[in-house]
Structure 1
Amino acid sequence: MTNLFAAAGLEREAPRPLADRLRPACLADVAGQDHLVGPDGAITRLLASGALGSLIFWGPPGTGKTTVARLLAGETKLKFEQISAIFSGVADLKKVFEAARGRRSTGQGTLLFVDEIHRFNRAQLDAFLPVVEDGTITLIGATTENPSFELNAALLSRARVMVFKPLDETAIEDLLLRAERIETKPLPIDSEARASLVRMADGDGRAALTLAEEVWRAARPGEVFDIEHLQEVVQRRAPIYDKTQDGHYNLISALHKTVRGSDPDAALYYLARMLDAGEDPLFVARRLVRMAIEDIGLADPQALVICNAAKDAYDFLGSPEGELALAQAAIYLATAPKSNAAYLAFGAATRTAKAAGSLAPPKTILNAPTKLMKAEGYGSGYAYDHDAPDAFSGQDYWPEKLGRQHFYAPAPRGFEREIAKRLEYWEKLRRERRED
């Protein structure tokens, strides 16, 4: 067998990918996550306190979630165990938990890293609760999905969420420099192609290193790729709009601000530049939907409908015909009345919800499906608004400890002018009925 490997020019051990060879050996080497593992980072502070606790790592692929989990196991002297929610079930979890209990009885703790933890169903997630609660395992779950939506509240209450950010261009460039040191040779690409490769990675460190490997494999001795040849080699087009590294982000920002500033011609210009440069039209469609929500809001409720219809039209027609639907949506948004009142109101409501804690709604508006709940006053005194004059009871729906709050202030433009009139009228009725 040895002769066969030697004859083929192969080693017994398969070559390790560049991303694996560049895996950081300490938390300080993790790129792009200073807010977590820097000198004043959240995880750094937890380690210094001596109380790590269970964590949920939320962020896009290639941002260091698995690496940080491995390093934390080393820092805390815990046995590192890793499973994937894609390939594991309850039986696998039981085996891991039993092994962790055995180690615990000998004084050895376990850090269990669960990749794609959002893929587990509610029953599987519930299985973690007792072993997290009694300290059998320190859980670190990794997810690319919003844990508020994908994980159950019971598990979230026992774990702290750490947000991993996409790597910025500086962090990606740092990874490429480290790769060149390990390979002891520069990437065979010119400066513009290098900037393009950084953007192609889209904030994913692992993707950046994979692209670099592709370039090294493809280059002949002495060959240096420009942007055009780079795209041919890696079969990926970068969102390059000009020769500056910030072109992609500058143009989407310009499109958003020209829509917000009610300049349809400028909006069309930046939209055309993005599409002509090869931007994914569905990325543009998503941003148009976002503009409809953030900058037009209820001043013109049709804006969101128009943008979603444009996205569906592009899905149906494809390019280039479907791009006209995006242009039509951009014109509509730019010429619509503007309001960020809903955006601001939701932000204010979110801050209050976080600060006030889990206050119970008044019993008046709670359902009472059982006799016990009725006896406790659930639903007692509820006024059915449709039976009240003007279909408005004026009842107080706020938690008693919080009191009535005001978040939404309609803009005096477009449809929100009518909403403002309704709110003023209802407030008048509310005062009158409170006095009665």
Structure 2
Amino acid sequence: GRITKDPNPYSRNSHFFYSPFLPKFTRTTYTKPTKNLSPIDNEPIKREYTLRTLSILNTIYPKRCNCPKSLENPSLNFLRLKSKESIARCSHCHKQISITANTPFQNIKLPLAYISYTIQDQILQYPKTMTSKEIARKLGLPYKTAYYLKKRIQVFFSHLNESLREQLYKELEESSKNFRLPKEGDLKETLKNQPVAVADSVVLYSSSLRANKHRSRRFKGGTASIYASNSIGGHQIGTLVHTIGINGGMTFYKSIPLNNQHYLEKDLEETIPKNVTLFTDEGYGFLWDRPNHKSVNHSKKSNDPRYNMSRERWVSKDGVSSNGAEARNNILKQSFRSYGYISPKWSQLALNELSFLGNVRFVPELKELLTLGGSKTVGFGDFL
């Protein structure tokens, strides 16, 4: 018969590929892992993230024992009980105290390392949002488990963001106590060392005609695109967001059902003191009690017959501009592209998450606690 040449065992096209770095006749094999490998699978790394989570919880939700000695010198020891990471012991009476009790992570069954690892990843990825599928893929978790972990973290971010809002309100109130804008003239020099707030509204996930079954809109304006027609229930489909920010500073988003005076003014009163300089478009004409409020006309026509629209519709001659709010709306839209869709029911949680991830950079101590530092301050004896 015909003599055939033996296949080259070192050829990668061969079914029996032998590595030249291994002994002869040793076949290389590949075993697929049962789950996606993550950095948390490394024990030293997992311990470091566990300590970081304990540090975060102990700093933001401090706990202590009620024994007499702890009232004078509170001290807790962590990681003393096997397979119970969230339980600390009083160093005086040895009473067990749950670190996750009365927090968004109460009764969580996952390892605590997953919390700080996900939080750090979210902060580093901003303005990109981290979806539940991405968390599931990185940590090797089922989708539903990753979904509920993300929901807990969103509630945690909402608590922190509310604290930042209250702190910002106090600082703005102090810095703009007796400040008044001139009625005319260029405002650039006047506002050189003053905080300037901007506000605007934007629609996310608007309903198309197909989603509305080609029926007429329920409302007019921007609100029309987030509600279905009355003939098919009139339920809300999209999300209407009110954006408030400080130029060069923090940003806060509020999910509102209607773009009217009641909801817009209420949100402004909760976030921005009345003496702070506020730049908006002409949709805020109802603000009569804010002496430092200026608006820009986005529909201003040009006096030059060669042009249709005036270039002052973005920045007026006095320096009034709401471009800061437009830029924040752009970041919001880009970030929410990662989600296929978010129900209006959960929209505020997602908005608080994005708002906090953008605001945390203005609080270096908090950012250090949540990302790189502070993990070795949870108590005495953690590294024994």
TM-score tier, shorter chain, comes to under 0.3
TM-score under structure 2 normalisation? 0.24
Higher percent of residues as helix? 1
Higher relative contact order (CA 8 A, sep 6+): 2
